[in-house]
């Protein structure tokens, strides 16, 4: 057996049942055997190091799920070694949904997709823990300090890799990166007839008018 392959059959009991019902067990076993590693090989580590965003899935102790998005300069998701990743958590809306879930349930799933160059994805599943900023810098002396004045991570999320495998290019669109603050119609996909109205909408905060909807709902009762 290859040293980077799992000793047991990966996946959940539920997915194994569905594979049996749909007749995909042999295909799944081939994928497990050839594609699923229990660590990040060299090409995976290189891929992670150049990504500037990823999608994060967490669940609380009752299994209620949450998915979110993280972004930063290439390398903000740090490869500490072949089985360990870490990324900083900065101030957000104060809800702390992902961190709260990790506190209750350490299992996390990351999906990294390169939309612009290789048009390929990488799944990383593992166990996460919250680490204080000071502790992270003590453990990893070469960890960079955020250059923004006064901005410090509220915490770091350190992830022990348990599974890593490819997300094939099928159905991944090819996107083109645009310069910051670009307003070209073809670049940002806006409706040319309604660009001014679109651009006048808030880009954060209450973009979806949730506050007004919530207020209306409460006042109508």
SS3 58: strand
Cα Rg of the chain, angstroms:
21
pLDDT of residue 216: 61
Which neighbouring-strand residues pair with 88? 156
pLDDT of residue 212: 75
**For the whole model, what pTM was predicted?**
0.81
Give 140-181 pLDDT, tens digit per residue: 988 877 777 777 899 999 999 999 999 998 889 999 988 766
The answer to whether 155 and 99 are in contact (CB under 8 A) is yes
Give the whole-angstrom CA distance, residue 30 versus residue 20.
14
Residue 117: its H or E element: none
The DSSP output letter for 145 is: P
**Packed helices 25-35 and 13-22: angle between N→C axes, nearest 10 degrees:** 130
pLDDT of residue 206: 76
- Residue labelled with tokens 């879930």: 101
Q: Return per-residue pLDDT of the chain as tens, 221 residues.
A: 444 544 478 899 999 999 999 999 999 999 999 999 999 999 999 999 999 999 999 999 999 999 999 999 999 999 999 999 999 999 888 899 999 999 999 999 999 999 999 999 999 999 999 999 999 999 998 887 777 777 789 999 999 999 999 999 888 999 998 876 655 444 333 333 443 443 445 556 677 888 877 666 666 66
């Amino acid at each position: 057996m290859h040293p980077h392959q799992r000793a047991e059959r990966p996946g959940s009991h539920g997915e194994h049942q569905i594979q049996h019902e749909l007749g995909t067990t042999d295909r799944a076993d081939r994928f497990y055997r050839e594609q699923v590693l229990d660590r990040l090989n060299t090409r995976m580590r290189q891929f992670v190091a150049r990504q500037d965003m990823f999608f994060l899935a967490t669940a609380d102790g009752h299994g209620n799920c949450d998915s979110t998005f993280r972004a930063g300069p290439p390398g903000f998701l740090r490869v500490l070694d072949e089985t360990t990743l870490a990324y900083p958590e900065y101030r957000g809306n104060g809800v702390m949904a992902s961190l709260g879930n990790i506190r209750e349930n350490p299992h996390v799933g990351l999906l990294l997709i390169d939309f612009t160059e290789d048009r390929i994805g990488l799944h990383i599943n593992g166990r996460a823990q919250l680490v204080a900023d000071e502790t992270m810098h003590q453990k990893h002396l070469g960890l960079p300090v955020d250059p923004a004045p006064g901005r410090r991570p509220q915490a770091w999320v350190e992830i022990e890799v348990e599974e890593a495998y490819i997300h094939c290019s099928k159905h991944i669109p090819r996107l083109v990166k645009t310069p910051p603050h670009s307003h070209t119609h073809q670049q940002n996909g806006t409706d040319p007839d309604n660009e001014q109205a679109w651009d006048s909408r808030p880009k954060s905060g209450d973009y979806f008018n949730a506050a007004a909807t919530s207020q209306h709902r409460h006042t109508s009762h």
